[in-house]
Amino acid sequence: MSLSKAVHDSLNQQINSEFYSSYLYLSLAAYCESINFPGFAHWLRLQSAEETSHAMRIFDFVNDRDERVLLAPIIQPPVEFESIMDVMTTALGHERQVTNLIHNCYEIALKEDDYATQVHLQWFITEQVEDEKSVSAIVEQLKMIGDRADAIVLLDRDLSSRVS
């Protein structure tokens, strides 16, 4: 069964959003590398790869439903940030925005009685809860640390151990 136009359009837009997320995380990582925080950069690069995998998961789903993926241009993400805190609050704000986008896709699938897409998107809803929690935890740690450079360096070292 093919997708309705509304569902198809929303999934294509979500693919673009997931690729943008990957691009944004790479930009955040590049900034962290430039100010010598390789642990934050490592964490953000892995997050970028995860976002690409999310895009491909939707990409494959659209193909599995006998529809064509229509890729759109990816806008340039910001490249300058004020601090590590700015980097991570940017990431958290973005994750919250992605959560809203996923909810919108789900709402469209619900209105269109597209049960397969609803089930597929449920995985993303659960994933967004995890993503927001992990970024929020880092932001909260940074709030506790404040301007203490030694503590930021320890957090940077801790983030370098992220495996996936």
What CATH code is carried by the domain that includes residue 135? Answer: 1.20.1260.10
| Residue 157 Cα to chain centre, angstroms | 22
pLDDT above 80 for 1:
no
pTM beyond 0.75: yes
Spatial neighbors of 94 by CB under 8 A, at least 6 apart, are 21, 24
Mean pLDDT of the chain: 96
Q: Taking the alpha carbons of 127, 99, 157, 32 in that order, is the dihedral positive or negative?
A: positive
Say if residue 120's pLDDT is above 90: yes
pLDDT higher than threshold 90 for residue 95: yes
Reading the block at residue 112, the tokens are: 């269109």
Interval 148-164: pLDDT, tens: 999 999 999 999 998 88
- Output phi, psi for 78, to 5 deg: -60, 155
Q: Rounded distance, CA 24 to CA 42, Å?
A: 14
The answer to whether residue 164 is domain-embedded is no
CA 155, 157, 163, 164 dihedral sign is positive
Judge whether 144 lies within some domain. Answer: yes
What percent of the chain has a predicted confidence (pLDDT) above 90? 96
Predicted local distance difference test score (pLDDT) of residue 43: 98
Query: Helices (DSSP H) in 65-114: which residue ranges?
Result: 84-111
Give the mean pLDDT of 41-67.
97
Kindly list the distances between the CA atom of residue 72 and the CA atoms of 29, 69, 84, in Å, as whole numbers in the listed order.
23, 10, 30
Give a yes or no: residue 123 inside a domain: yes
Domain that holds residue 59: 5-159
Instruction: Report pLDDT for 49.
Output: 98
Q: Would you place residue 52 in the very low, low, confident or very high pLDDT band (cuts 50, 70, 90)?
A: very high
- The per-residue pLDDT for 121 is 98
- Count of domains forming the chain: 1
Closest CA to 10 of 48, 50, 52, 67: 67
